[in-house]
Chain A
């Protein structure tokens, strides 16, 4: 059972904007630990999408953006494309568990 909660699924039409929330607590996101996001396309290995709450690695389109507010963070995808259909996971550090934690995961469906 993960300490980082994400909605199981979100969907949108091509071109739309969707957001994925990742809600934690005072022992992880609220404690100031960074959140990172990974994209896992069907049948593939996860790929780093956002690090340090809002930074994009080179090669990641600027359609993907991350933000943080209090004990939750969000990943936004603007101009949704069919190729964005994937599972998305947030990840942080938890001081109570003294370890790294992943979110529950969100499946993005492009309608």
Chain B
């Protein structure tokens, strides 16, 4: 059973950069059938898609976050990463990494079939 595990600082200061890594185990990140994504959930609120990446490096970002977000992949380490620049308290959330299955091909028909456990990132001085 494939597993995803987020890692990174749980506390980030305002205006600094949030950096998280997702390690994929018991499965390959170099899968033509999947995208790899980041989703976040502020405390007590709903889910927000941040962005996704394909193993060859194609990226897709939420327009509302695009100017501050970078997602990258390292196939040699079976990892993908998230960076969010210039964070504020509004970026405080549980951050999930996830595997997205391209069940009908293309980038439109995609659902999340595996989630990481999530990691709480708090933005505070």
* Interface residues of A, Cβ cutoff 8 Å to B: 2, 33-34, 36, 38, 45-48, 51-52, 57, 87, 89, 91, 93, 97-105
14 of the cross-chain contacts (CB-CB < 8 Å) are A33-B108, A34-B104, A34-B108, A45-B96, A46-B96, A52-B104, A87-B46, A97-B62, A97-B63, A98-B63, A99-B51, A102-B47, A104-B46, A105-B47
* Interface residues of B, Cβ cutoff 8 Å to A: 37, 39, 46-49, 51-52, 60-63, 96, 103-104, 107-113, 115-118
In the complex, chain B residues whose CB is within 8 Å of the CB of A36? 111-112
In the complex, chain B residues whose CB is within 8 Å of the CB of A47? 115
The chain A residue sitting closest to B106, CB to CB, is A93
In the complex, chain A residues whose CB is within 8 Å of the CB of B107? 93
Let me know if A105 and B115 touch, CB within 8 A: no
**Interchain CA distance A108-B39 in the complex, whole Å:** 22
In the complex, chain A residues whose CB is within 8 Å of the CB of B109? 33-34, 52, 93
In the complex, chain B residues whose CB is within 8 Å of the CB of A98? 60, 63
